[in-house]
Structure 1
């Protein structure tokens, strides 16, 4: 019976309505937020420079640690596996797959093209499904499917089955990034979000880095083991790593604050999750209809976000670094796989550093422009091409310094568009659909395999796209300020634009939670001490 109820509750979950009297609110949240005048010691203040939760009161800190240990830990592992399963095709190609399967010409690019086609077809429909089916069910099921499909590539004897498998892998993976960005933006506040989005994105860089190490290790120690080529072992191992992580998702993913049913949060913590986000002016999830979805395209928001997002997405050139190394005829297979990992290590450092500065100083678009500049500069050097050997080496690495773009722009969008949870999920879904639609054919023209490694037209095009992505960031700034002015929004104490009616002050963590808005205070006093019920409706 419990299993049946769990299945029924997985589809069209019913949001909760929270009702407290003012006295009940004070009683419930006094200890949780204030912890009797807690003051962090010097060591905790030092740790908070790197991770914000360390200086919070004990119960508040424990709440954030539980979120991080479950939500962040699972999403990190999930994105790690997603990236590993996506990038291993490039490592396998230069590690024996090309020779064993007699691949030629453009087939390497076509493996990516069919993946993009699957991703394109799945991105937007999956966001509609997330609105109907709990993410804690939908996301792990998709991961199980793609992990099995990845292992099946190891059995391929020609390019044809790889095309089919890569298509369905892309279809299954398409839901991960937009849904995760939407979920993280629904659980974490402005001073917390960019760091966590950056750490989430770091999983991609870490996976890309580890893919090189794994392939080098597999090629060295397992090539020919059991009569199986090293590149085949790579797909088998990647799938085996992924399956246990998939099942963790059923437990760790908390859905949304107003629909969560996870056992690792108490009822008090579940209520607090809703209230602390409501104070920001953030709206909870609502039904996503086709009419509402189409209305997004009559507004500047989806265009303002996706202008820089798409252009930066398609202006990457780092995946061609190993082809340049291979063309030098001076490095072994292991070295060709290992050398590019330095760039991913650089991305890890700069991504976290940029996000930490952004969170602490409230800087979103200025940090974005810094990241865009490095991507532009690296592409500019590659477009010139006839430069010293060392500078050309560096040119491939510079775009990785611009890696923080995705974390920063998704954090910025979560804050700018906090009045529409479904839009936040659709932004990157639409962006990925368009960027992958372009990526499905653009590399075939800009980076044809026979022209490797000197792609004259390709590097010039990427340079131009990088520059235009910076212009897109400035367009976003102008349009966001214009919308705030035209809609009469006010800025709350967190620097977020909200409707005046959505202003709340939970006074965290200085004292107790006070759910009564400013205009309600006078009403409470007029009641001469009567117990006033305050309702927070989650719709």
Structure 2
């Protein structure tokens, strides 16, 4: 935890020293890094602390209302597109596609094969390119595949489409995490990532309601099955949001034009991120390969990859959540609707805990607490057939891993702040490693395990335990790095407010 300060200083405390004899005023020599760094920004250096604070608030407000709103809508569609097959399955998609349980699980796994292949190279390209255009472009790519899915008539068609959806979606979440961490400070990042990452949660709420409206009432319209309408409508919504993305997204703080920020606001955006990153800038060092190799040599990369893997393992239920809910004995319509309350609760918990993490500059114990709750939910799911107890267990189950993933994304992008290509490689590599779990986890939720899904529940418990262990290791290493920074301060006498978040 950063006990040095709760937010970055946004300007020098301009003091002066008067010499009584000749009334000469001399400027005090800068004694903090912030006072030195601001000299690089000609439009900021002459401003008072009050003016700098006001300009900072203006930058954050514009980011929140334009960038954050746009990216949240895009992430909502991203997650909605990823899970739409779960509810389509209840409407007969698997039977109409002539798929066995094993073939269905293979299609689910192939999504993550494509997802892994594209992430690292695409995210490093985005880091040195223009995300304003690249992120909406990949969104148009997966939307086009989604709209083609109503034509699926065989297991092979399902597998190919899911592979292509994964291939086009792969760069998106790591790219969004990278872009968010380039615009928001380490104090602001957890809540903002919580807002857009909660799209993962909200998509499950919306998917249930869409399923109730479309899958139960549109079967046979224009000669199409209801699950075909489900894909068509979601695909068209996704294309609409992607087009809006071309207007709503910025590039990077050092190259976003005045279509988004004024010159003063642009310099403030760069300065505040420089302070947050302990003096490191967004200027990349070297090319694509160099950034990747820098990430591979950093122990944090491997630690966060392990944590990400464990967190994704603990949410292996998400592609089968409607099927798990169906074992509670509700009607099909009720099954669609009762999926929503657990995710509504998880959404509120996600925002509250994300705010707390940013406010106190702490990540480890926040994640550990959430994963302990998730573990309790998995135990309830497999240990009892009481409907009320199992439903409560499902509420606990979804309240942990989604939040853990959000805090983990924020954590890893603050402890490895710069250069951008290194951070891009870390985020994408960790996401790739985590996605490997999807190659085998679908086979833990086959229908012959209903209603308890004991193997699946055991896998979730293992993921929770590994997540807790990984958090403790990362915290230990961050504390070790902070002690080294404190020794350097004592040696040089120069105050550096940056600390590795624990």
Normalised by the length of structure 2, the TM-score is 0.84
Query: Cα distance, 1:495 vs. partner?
Result: 5.7
1:34 to 50, 54, 61: 50
1:75-154 equivalence runs, <5 A:
75-154=71-150
Q: Deviation at 1:335?
A: 1.6
Partner of 1:130, secondary structure, is helix
Identify the residue that residue 430 of structure 1 maps to in structure 2. 429
The CA deviation at 1:302 is: 0.8
Displacement of 1:74 after TM fit? 1.3
1:489 positional shift: 5.1
Match of 1:212 in 2: 208
Is the alpha carbon distance of 1:427 and 1:187 closer, same or farther for their aligned partners in structure 2, counting shifts above 3 Å?
A: same
- CA change 1:376–1:495 in 2 (3 A) is farther
Distance between the aligned counterparts of 2:85 and 2:293, measured in 1?
36
How many residue pairs get aligned? The number is 455
Q: Which residue of 1 aligns with 2:32?
A: none
What's 1:221 paired with?
217
Structure 2 unaligned regions, length at least 5: 1-36
Check whether the contact 2:127–2:424 (CA below 8 A) recurs between aligned residues.
no
The answer to whether the 8 Å contact 1:296/1:423 transfers is yes
The answer as to whether partners of 2:56 and 2:268 remain within 8 angstroms in 1 is no
Cα displacement (A) at 1:240: 0.7
Aligned position for 1:504 = none
- TM-score calculated relative to the size of structure 1: 0.79
Retained in 2: the 8 A contact 1:119–1:173? Answer: yes
Deviation at 1:19, TM superposition (A): 9.6
Shift of 1:493: 7.6
Structure 1: state its 5+ residue gaps.
1-17, 37-55, 499-539
Offset, 1:68: 1.2
Corresponding residue for 1:5?
none
> For the residues of structure 1 that align with 2:344 and 2:235, how far apart are their CA atoms?
24
CA RMSD of superposed structures (Å): 2.5
Correspondence 1:264 to 2:260: yes
Match of 1:397 in 2: 395
Instruction: Specify whether residues 89 and 398 from structure 1 end up closer, same or farther in structure 2 by C-alpha distance, changes over 3 A only.
Output: same
User: Do the aligned partners of 2:144 and 2:235 also contact (CA within 8 Å) in 1?
Assistant: yes
1:326–1:292 distance in 2 versus 1, CA, 3 Å: closer
Tell me the equivalent position of 2:157. 161
Paired residues of 1:254 and 1:262 also in contact (CA < 8 A): no
Mapping 1:53-452, distance limit 5 Å:
57=54, 59-261=55-257, 263-280=259-276, 281=278, 282-286=280-284, 287-316=286-315, 317-328=317-328, 330-383=329-382, 385-386=383-384, 388-402=386-400, 403-444=402-443, 446-452=444-450
CA distance in 1, matches of 2:187, 2:101: 49
- Worse-matched range after superposition: 337-346 or 281-290: 281-290
Once the 2 structures are TM-superposed, how far is the Cα of residue 164 of structure 1 from its aligned partner? 1.1
1:458 deviation in Å?
2.7
Shift of 1:24: 5.5
- Which residue pairs with 2:33 in the alignment? none
Kindly state the Cα deviation for residue 248 of structure 1 after the two structures are TM-superposed. Answer: 2.0
Q: Which piece of structure 1 moves more, 91-100 or 175-184?
A: 91-100
Cα deviation code 1:387-412 (max 9, x no counterpart) = 63322221122122213112212222
Partner of 1:513: none
Aligned to 1:25: 44
- CA–CA distance in structure 2, aligned partners of residues 21 and 358 of structure 1: 31
